[in-house]
Structure formats: structure tokens, C-alpha cells
Amino acid sequence: MEDVSLDLIKKYNVQGPRYTSYPTAVQFQKADEEDIASLYSYLLERNADPHPISLYFHIPFCFSLCWYCGCTKVITKDQDRGDLYLDYLEKEMDQVAEMLHPDSEVVQIHFGGGTPTFLKPDQLQRLGKAIHRRFNLTDETEFGVEIDPRKCTREHIETLADIGCNRASLGVQDTNEDVQKAIHRIQPFEQTKQVTKWLRENGIDSINFDLIYGLPLQTLKTFRQTIDDVLSLQPDRLAVYSYAHIPSMMPAQKLLNEEDMPTTDEKLSMLQLSISYLTDNGYRFIGMDHFSREDEELTKAMENGTLQRNFQGYSTLAGADLYAFGMSGISNVGDYYWQNTKELGEYYSQLDNNKRPVAKVLQLCKDDKLRHRVIMQVMCKMGLSFDEIEEKWGIVFEDYFSNSLERLSELQADGFVEVSENKITITERGRLFLRNIAMCFDKYSNRKKSTRSFSKTV
């Protein structure tokens, strides 16, 4: 990837969505009974025919609080709480399974959190069996789980393999002991190394590591050592996230010492290091914060134009109806997004009353669907054809998106996009600024409330 100056990176380092969806969750509206009834009427009609299915399960529990974390979580050391939570996950699964077409097949499953490995091995086994009983999995189903190496045993890994898991994402963040103390997450590298070994011994060969730059006490030197450490384990993919410090929205972040945080220049230098060092060591920069090995299927999908984006980030799977289970889970099927309640007690009480635990909903209008298409083309295909959009949507691209093209002109002047009379092409330099480019087509992104909830774009 061509070098991009620090000044340009700073210029475009503004708050903006990650575009795992469009519209983003900020636009979801509080759901009343009529909204929920309309949603489920739509789902019943849609499921008159079979569709590929993706399932997400949110396991909210964590043994301790990581001070940087913005996930929806419940802090407890009582693993028996997992049994009650599984009772309610099964109730919610019943609600969904009974309305699916019997021939719908599951193409993807993901356990997220929280900490999925908070559950004991027998609880994971119970969850796996509950899924297999209710849904049609195949030998091709992609089954991923997020793992906290601090809370994971060989038996956890053996159980995950037994229920069909074939992908794992390990939370590493940083391997430096001082940084780990500063963020309240002590994780000796040997733990990460051991869990990686167990995964491969059990046939779970597709492994991702999550790193974060911009944490307290990080330096360019220590972060390079973190990258060296994880490269020694040869992960298939790496996600290198920018730390988003938003203590007004994430109260735990107030526990961090802001004086220990890297300066903006230091943080962006870590980003530059990540891109150059990883690409020099056999990884392709997919975009934003994702890297994958040259021989990995994510790289192949990028090269052949089949890359996709969903709530788990970049993916090779397209077009699946996403059903999310558990508190705070976000689903996306056809014209609808909806989100479950973020309150555990409310989640339980809604299901006790045989109600759907839906708190927010959004039905996409034609403009939303059109802009979703354009933004996903930007995020996944590094450009778009005006002719293709015009033919499908019955518009004149330059007229419909005149404001967007005007907003794009500055990015064009800086060499991140090329605009011709019938297409937009994102340059290799522009791969770093995909979020900024996508924001030009986001009708909500000019609204102050809409952007203040997001992390910085680079």
C-alpha cells in the first residue's frame, strides 16, 4: 500500500460509522407492539420460501471488567447464571425456528459477547445441541466463536469442536504487561499461545486475533512487539482496531488514565506501522482494520469481488437472513433491522410473557436500500458502476447523488477516489479511508447526533 502522510490521516480522522449495517443502529427506533406485529407478519410472509440463514448468539457475561470495552455485558463470576440464560435463549430460538421454512439452511453461526467461553463446557454443549435440534446446519456451515484466552480450557475447545465450531477469534488487544495492567486485562502471552495450540489440535484452523491501538501506555515500540508476538502464532486473520475513547457513553473508560494515552500522532503512527509491517509479512490489507493471509479466503474474496460486510465485519458469505439471539442482539432480514433489549431482566420478562424481546426496529425505505447497496459496494468492492445502480434502481446516478459526489470531491483531490463519467474507483491509498468515502453517501452522516456516537474513522 502506498504511504499516506500523517497530515492526511489526521485530516480525515473524524467520527463516523463502521458500516456493518446501513442505516446504522443509531437510526433504529423504539418498537411498540404495532411495530413488532408488522415485523413478524413480514417475517412469516418472507419465510414462506427458504432462505439461507445466519445465527448470532450474544453471551453477555464476563468475569471481570476490561476498562476500554464498549460491548454490552454483565459482570459476574457466577457461571451458574449461564444455565438460566440458556433457558431463555432456547425460548427465543423456539420463537424463530417455528416460523422458518423447513428447508432454510444455516450458512453461518457466531457466538459473541461478552465472553462466550464464560459458559462452562457442558453449557456450551447444551447450547450447541439446542441449535442443532432447531436449525438445519450443513457440513459447510461456518461456525465462529469469540474466545477470551484467560477463560478458556482445553475442554472448552474440545466442546466447541464437537458442536461444529470451525473458526475462532481470540481477544489479544496488546501483549505488553504494563498496557494490560493499565486496561485491567492481564493476559500472559503464553495463554494466547496455549489456546491457539488447542484450537489447531482440534481442527479449528481458521484463527483471528483482535488487537487494539491507542491504549494507555502503548508506544510504537511496544505495539510493534505485540504484532511480532502474534505473528509468531501465524493467525489467518488479524483485526487491528482503533481504540475509541468515549467515556460519556462508556462509563468504564473513565477508569483509564487519559494522561497515559498516546497522542494522536503516536496513535496514527501505530496504524501506519500496522499496515506496513503486516503487509511486509505476508498479509493483505482488506480495508479499515482487517488483514488476512495471502492464501486466506477473505483475501480471495477481495480479489474476485465477492467480499461482504455484516455485523461481524468482513465476510465471504452473502445474502443470509441474520437472526440474533440474546440481550442486545441485532437482526437483519430483508427490509428490516431490529434489536433486542439491552437489559437482561427485561429480556427475561418479555420471554416469560411469550413476547418478542425486541426493543428497537427499523424498516428500510427505498432510499435506505439504495444507499445500503452503494455503501456496501464502497466498503467491499472498492468502487461502483453508475450503470449497474441506475439499471437496478431506476435513477440517474449523478442527479440522485449530486450532493454525495460534491462531498466526494475533496477525497478525489487527495487521491483516494477516481470519479469518471460512469463509475467510482477507490485507489489503493483510499482503502484506508473507506469509512470517510462511504459517509459521502450516508444521508444521516451530516446530522450531529448521528456521528457523535461513533469511533474515529482511521
Q: Are 339 and 359 in contact (CB under 8 A)?
A: yes
Domain boundary among 275, 295, 325: 325
Indicate which CATH number applies to the domain containing 75: 3.80.30.20
Note whether 11 and 21 are same-domain residues: no
pLDDT at 6: 84
Domain boundary among 297, 325, 353: 325
90 known ligand binder: no
Indicate which CATH number applies to the domain containing 441: 1.10.10.920
108 known ligand binder: no
Note whether 159 and 275 are same-domain residues: yes
Average pLDDT per consecutive 10 residues, the chain (458 residues; last block may be shorter): 78 88 94 96 98 98 95 96 99 98 97 97 99 98 98 98 98 98 98 99 97 98 98 98 91 95 94 95 93 95 88 85 98 97 98 97 97 95 95 97 96 96 93 94 74 65
- Residue positions counted in the chain: 458
pLDDT at 452: 53
Residue 184 covered by a domain: yes
For the chain, the first-to-last Cα distance in angstroms comes to: 15
Residue 339 covered by a domain: no
Residue 86 covered by a domain: yes
Domain boundary among 309, 325, 341: 325
- The count of domains in the chain is 2
306 known ligand binder: no
329 known ligand binder: no
- C-alpha 94/C-alpha 131 separation (Å) is 10
Note whether 200 and 213 are same-domain residues: yes
16 known ligand binder: no
113 known ligand binder: yes
Residue 64 covered by a domain: yes
Q: Which range marks the domain in which residue 184 is found?
A: 17-325
Cell of 274: 500496522
115 known ligand binder: yes
- C-alpha 142/C-alpha 163 separation (Å) is 12
For 280, the enclosing helix (H) or strand (E) is: helix 264-280
Note whether 253 and 307 are same-domain residues: yes
Note whether 276 and 422 are same-domain residues: no
Residue 240, helix vs strand vs coil:
strand
210 known ligand binder: yes
Instruction: Indicate the DSSP class of residue 308.
Output: E
pLDDT at 317: 81
203 known ligand binder: no
Note whether 162 and 274 are same-domain residues: yes
330 known ligand binder: yes
Instruction: Indicate the DSSP class of residue 263.
Output: P
Residue 458 covered by a domain: no
167 known ligand binder: no
To the question of pTM greater than 0.75 for the whole model, the response is yes
